[in-house]
Structure 1
Amino acid sequence: MPHTEERLHLTLDDQIATRYLPVPFDVPRGAPSVSVQLSYDTSAGVIDLGCEGASGWRGWSGGARDRFTITAEAATPGYLPGELEPGTWQVILGLHKVPATGLDVRLRIACPAVEQPEREREAPPQPRQVRGSERNLPAPAGLRWYAGDFHAHTVHSDGSLSISELAATAVRAGLDFLAVTDHNTVSHHAHLPRVGAAHGITLLPGQEVTTARGHANAFGDIGWIDFREPADTWVAEVERRGGVLSINHPIDGDCAWQHPLTALPAALEHWHISWFRDLTSTAPWAFHQRWDPGAVLLGGSDFHSPDHGYALGTPTTWVAAEDDSPEAILAGVRAGRTAISVGVGEDRVPRPLHTPILLRVEEDLLAIDAEGLVLADAEGRRRRITDSYERLPASWGSGRLHLQDATRRVLAIA
């Protein structure tokens, strides 16, 4: 199959029938490579792009790319390199936005490929100025609090930075760890140990399981989770494989969580960058009261590009762990040893060593660098913090405790 072209007219009826339209093509035995090019009127609609090989999933780029190439040795970011197994492959078209008048789509499939896969940019390692764990926050015996961010993207999906550039950015933000959570792919996982070691930061493998009815982060080196399956399947599969699943930005705009679930996952991205639009918003608390009160709370910046005007670590999630390895960080999450802080000052610069923080440590509740702030609980009880290091009994208040400033902006969550 040296070259083939498919022309499709996609309609709302196609979208109603399936959100993910397979377009099959054949790969002959011994084929060295394949490339796919997608073209349509991008001002009229949005069509996502992905690929499934004869033996399984090969990658996803959503609406971020209009082409990809896969070879035995390399692939476009977002796609898995490797020998091309012979048989029927499928281009997967995500029918994200289809106008009422329909959309004309053209696919050009070439085997062997007519284009070489692009190479990722490498960033020079950054000198460490600060690391959140250097704050030496009080922790249970044998543990240390590490600062991180549980939601970020690279060129392996719709981010603008390479993995190396993202790692360098996280180092400048003072983070100890960063979860790399590209959409519907694990193509970035193989690169994380090398890049993390080069930059001196833990890069936690993740994937954002992404659909039109909600997103969830699957953490851990657990293989690909099929976003086309029911969300209950995600929960069960991630648990079976030893990972952690977190529901993402559950009340954010057109990405709010709508999937029905019979069993709730272990974690919830309670504090997403969208909350920074109004830190006085009570909507996240209203949602949380109707969710699982025992869910482990995480924070994620959902970082895509420096051009968006916010930094990694907004907010910062702290995890009490034995060390900063991916395995230890995830063990800390499973045990519920997390806290979230606003992470930045008024200048939006990450300051993990100085941000107010609220911690539960054994029998104590600690408010640190929070003098003048107000401690509040789920039932509306409030009390002023009068010292820069204030210790209270862990039994104070009910539900999720948080720190507010005088204008009731949330600055930290226990």
Structure 2
Amino acid sequence: MMKWIPSELHTHTFHSDGSHSLLELAASAARLGLGCIALTDHNTQSGLAGAEQAERQSGIRIVPGMEWTTFYGHMLTLGIKEFVDWRVLGPEDIHKGIQFVHEQGGIAGLAHPYRIGSPICTGCFWEYNIHDWNDVDFIEVWSTLMPSVKRDSQRAFALWTDLLNQGYRITATSGRDWHGTKSDDPLPAVTYIGVEKADGTSLQVQIVEALRRGRAAVTMGPLLTLSVKTAGDEHEYAMGDCVEWHGKPDPMAMEVTVNVDMDIRREFYELQGDRLRLVLRSGQGVCDEIQIPAETAVYSFTLQAEAASQWVRAELFGCLGNAVTLVAFTNPVYIHAPAVQATAVRSGGRCEF
């Protein structure tokens, strides 16, 4: 059984340029209904000294991390307990730095890759040369408050989609880039992380591993999750899994299930209107969309294909913060199959990939 933990993966304390202590930050996260934060101060981990006490007092799990803050880009490193020095890295050396993070069992991802850079925000715009995207564990595709309407987040979301279409498997996350809290703050996004009970493994380690595997959904409102079953196979594929068509029945078919949970953290956002648009998107574009009521429900789609060789994810659109916008999306289930013509079918409709 998957447990979905609402998380904030990009935070700062006064150990770098934030206004909170770690305890204040964790307490603020608890008041917002979160279950986990990652502490990612700029180029330091000194703020983690009080992590155990902050966890006990707030009930919030704290993932150790750090934000590499360099002249060529900012990178979030999560799950590391020892300082990893970025100062030896040039524009062509980012893979060496990622290797250092992986050797500690951590993960590394791009922070706000399209935010305005120098002279407004030195190094905020990503300029490192990535020679192999397989080394990158995640991309912060939604950044800061009310992210879906911001151009830099839209560009990051498009980058992620383009990389999926090229065959890379990279997790999408959100990051508030939390430096302080005001009573009139716009709506932040939340990354829900799916963990399964593992005896003897700390929850922090499970969270990092879930992010590495793509067990995550991003939202400013409802929790949106997706799973896939194939014809003749009882196994359920979760976000981040890969469906291998080899040896499966022909014609191939899969049932895509999308769960829209409007009850979780309901007091922390307000949707305008009583209708939403649920979109099922693959590597070839939109394959189905339906209008749904703004209530908790489960929706099933049947995709029939001789092959579907890329990925499928769910997206939810609605009116939030006086803007009609993308409200939530899932990470994909990947599909590996021979590259031939494919079709997608839902009861009452048909669309071509």
**Structure 1 counterpart of 2:339:** none
Cα 1:203–1:148 shift into 2, 3 Å = same
**Structure 2 counterpart of 1:190:** 49
Q: 2-side partners of 1:229 and 1:394: how far apart?
A: 51
1:359 aligns with 2:234: no
Task: Report the TM-score when normalising by structure 2.
Answer: 0.67
Q: 2-side partners of 1:300 and 1:276: how far apart?
A: 9
Q: 1-side partners of 2:84 and 2:318: how far apart?
A: 40
Verify the 8 A CA contact 2:142 2:157 in the aligned structure 1: no
Q: 2-side partners of 1:365 and 1:253: how far apart?
A: 38
**Structure 1 counterpart of 2:39:** 180
Cα deviation for residue 268 of structure 1 reads 1.1
Q: 1-side partners of 2:302 and 2:67: how far apart?
A: 34
1:409 aligns with 2:337: no
**Structure 1 counterpart of 2:289:** 383
1:327 aligns with 2:233: no
Matches within 5 A, 1:14-413: 141=1, 143-230=2-89, 231-254=94-117, 255-264=124-133, 265-273=136-144, 276=147, 278=149, 282-292=154-164, 293-307=168-182, 309-310=184-185, 314-322=188-196, 325-343=203-221, 355-360=222-227, 362-363=236-237, 364-369=256-261, 372-376=275-279, 377=281, 379-387=285-293, 388-393=296-301, 398-405=311-318, 408-413=324-329
Verify the 8 A CA contact 1:358 1:412 in the aligned structure 2: no
Cα 1:325–1:296 shift into 2, 3 Å = same
Cα 1:366–1:290 shift into 2, 3 Å = closer
SS in 2 for 1:386: strand
Verify the 8 A CA contact 1:360 1:394 in the aligned structure 2: no
Verify the 8 A CA contact 2:74 2:111 in the aligned structure 1: yes
Q: Which moved more, 1:266-275 or 1:378-387?
A: 378-387
Q: 2-side partners of 1:400 and 1:196: how far apart?
A: 34
Verify the 8 A CA contact 1:189 1:221 in the aligned structure 2: no
Verify the 8 A CA contact 1:367 1:385 in the aligned structure 2: no
Cα 1:152–1:335 shift into 2, 3 Å = same
Verify the 8 A CA contact 1:152 1:304 in the aligned structure 2: yes
Q: 2-side partners of 1:322 and 1:157: how far apart?
A: 33
Cα deviation for residue 158 of structure 1 reads 0.3
Q: 2-side partners of 1:372 and 1:331: how far apart?
A: 35
Q: Which amino acid aligns with 2:163?
A: W
Cα 1:394–1:302 shift into 2, 3 Å = farther
Cα 1:399–1:284 shift into 2, 3 Å = farther
Q: 2-side partners of 1:394 and 1:336: how far apart?
A: 23
Q: 2-side partners of 1:278 and 1:390: how far apart?
A: 27
Q: 2-side partners of 1:217 and 1:395: how far apart?
A: 36
Cα deviation for residue 189 of structure 1 reads 2.2
> Any idea what the Cα deviations from partners look like across 1:217-269, whole Å, max 9, x if unmatched?
11113311212132222211111111011111111121121100223311111
Q: 2-side partners of 1:241 and 1:332: how far apart?
A: 16
Cα 1:317–1:277 shift into 2, 3 Å = closer
Cα 1:145–1:340 shift into 2, 3 Å = same
Task: Report the TM-score when normalising by structure 1.
Answer: 0.57
Q: Which amino acid aligns with 1:260?
A: N
Q: Where does the alignment leave 5 or more consecutive residues of structure 2 unmatched?
A: 118-123, 229-235, 238-255, 263-273, 331-353
Verify the 8 A CA contact 1:215 1:257 in the aligned structure 2: yes
SS in 2 for 1:228: coil
Verify the 8 A CA contact 1:222 1:238 in the aligned structure 2: no
Percent identity between matched residues is 26
Q: Which moved more, 1:249-258 or 1:171-180?
A: 249-258
Cα 1:179–1:395 shift into 2, 3 Å = farther
> Any idea what the Cα deviations from partners look like across 1:67-117, whole Å, max 9, x if unmatched?
xxxxxxxxxxxxxxxxxxxxxxxxxxxxxxxxxxxxxxxxxxxxxxxxxxx
- Rg larger in 1 or in 2? 1
Cα deviation for residue 302 of structure 1 reads 0.5
Cα deviation for residue 400 of structure 1 reads 4.2
Verify the 8 A CA contact 1:151 1:180 in the aligned structure 2: yes
SS in 2 for 1:253: coil
Cα deviation for residue 399 of structure 1 reads 4.6
Q: Which amino acid aligns with 1:320?
A: G
Cα deviation for residue 314 of structure 1 reads 1.7
Q: Where does the alignment leave 5 or more consecutive residues of structure 1 unmatched?
A: 1-140, 344-354
Q: 2-side partners of 1:244 and 1:338: how far apart?
A: 14
Q: 1-side partners of 2:302 and 2:131: how far apart?
A: 32
Cα deviation for residue 369 of structure 1 reads 4.3
Q: Which moved more, 1:278-287 or 1:251-260?
A: 278-287
**Structure 2 counterpart of 1:72:** none
Q: Which amino acid aligns with 1:155?
A: F
Cα 1:168–1:262 shift into 2, 3 Å = same
